[in-house]
Amino acid sequence: MIRREEIIGDCRLLLGDMCEVLPALGKFDLCLTDPPYGIGEDGGRFRGRKGQNIRVLPKGNWDQTTPPASAFDAILASSAEQIIWGGNYFSDKLPPSKGWLYWQKLMGGDFADGELAWTSRDRALREFTKCPKGQGAEHPTQKPLELMLWCLTHAPSAKTVVDPFMGSGTTGVACAKRGLAFTGIERHEPYFDIACERIRKAYAQPDMFIERAPEPKQEALSL
C-alpha cells in the first residue's frame, strides 16, 4: 500500500513497504539500492563514527534482519540491471556474480575496510575510494553522493532508476543530478521526509544536469 506519494521533478517518491509496492510499479532500467544489512545500525543510539554529527532519530527498527528472499526476487524481476550495496550480506538470496563493486572507505580502526555491492554486470570488479568522513548526516547509513554518482557510470544506458530502500534519498539526488527518472520507496516516514527535502534541494542547485561522466578507467582487480 502506498501511504504517500511525492513527485519532485523527474523523481517519484513513495512511502510504503517495498515488498508490497515494488511489484506493482512495472519495469525499470536499473535498481541501485542499499538494503538493510541486518547489523543493527537503525538510528536511536547510533554508534557513530568519531566527529560525525548524526541527527539522532527515534529507533527505526529497520536493521535487525536482512530483507526476505522475496524482496530480492522482486528487485530482479522489476529491473533490467541491479547494483545492490551490502551484497555480501545477501549472497544466499542473489545469484552468483562476477561484477562486484568495492567501496574502499579508508577508515581504519574497528570499522570494515570497505563495502561490497553485488551487481548483475558480467564485468570486472571495480573499486571506488572515498573516506566517508564529512558525508551527509541525515541517515545513520547514508551513502556518499559521489559513490552513487559513480555507480550510475556503471549502467550508462539506464534512463529509469529505482531504489526500493531509499533511506535519505542519496540515489535520488544522484539521479536528479544526472537528469535520470527516479522512483524511490521508503517505509520509515522521517527518512522519507528527509529524502523529499534533499531531492528538492538538488533540483534547486545550479549544477543540475551536468554532463554524465564516462565510465572510469581503472585497473581490474582479480577476485
Ligand X SMILES: C[S@@+](CC[C@H](N)C(=O)[O-])C[C@H]1O[C@@H](n2cnc3c(N)ncnc32)[C@H](O)[C@@H]1O
Number of chain positions touching ligand X (CB under 6 A): 21
In the bound state with ligand X, the residue whose beta carbon lies nearer, of 90 and 191, is: 191
Are 148 and 202 contacting, i.e. CB atoms less than 8 angstroms apart?
no
Q: How far apart are CA 59 and CA 44, in angstroms?
A: 4
Q: x/- contact string, 81-120, with ligand X (CB under 6 A)?
A: ----------------------------------------
Q: Measured between alpha carbons, how far is 115 from 103 in angstroms, rounded to an integer?
A: 5
We find the least distance from the C-beta atom of residue 166 to ligand X, in angstroms, to be 7
User: Of these, 128, 174, 187, 196, which contacts ligand X (CB under 6 A)?
Assistant: 187
Instruction: Kindly write out the interface string for residues 51-70 of this chain, putting x where it contacts ligand X by CB under 6 A and - elsewhere.
Output: ---------x-x--------
Burial of 17 (0-12, 13-18, 19+ CB in 10 A): middle
What 3-state class would DSSP assign to 32?
strand
Which span sits near ligand X by CB under 6 A: 91-99, 106-114, 121-129, 135-143?
Answer: 135-143
Contacts of 105 (CB under 8 A, 6+ apart): 111, 112, 113, 114, 115, 130, 131, 132
- Please, which residues bridge with residue 5 across strands? 14
Q: Which of these segments, 24-32, 89-97, 179-187, 207-215, binds ligand X (CB under 6 A)?
A: 179-187
- Rounded to whole angstroms, how far apart are CA atoms 184 and 199? 11
* Contact string 28-47 vs ligand X (x = CB under 6 A): ------xxx-----------
Q: Nearer to ligand X by C-beta: 100 or 191?
A: 191
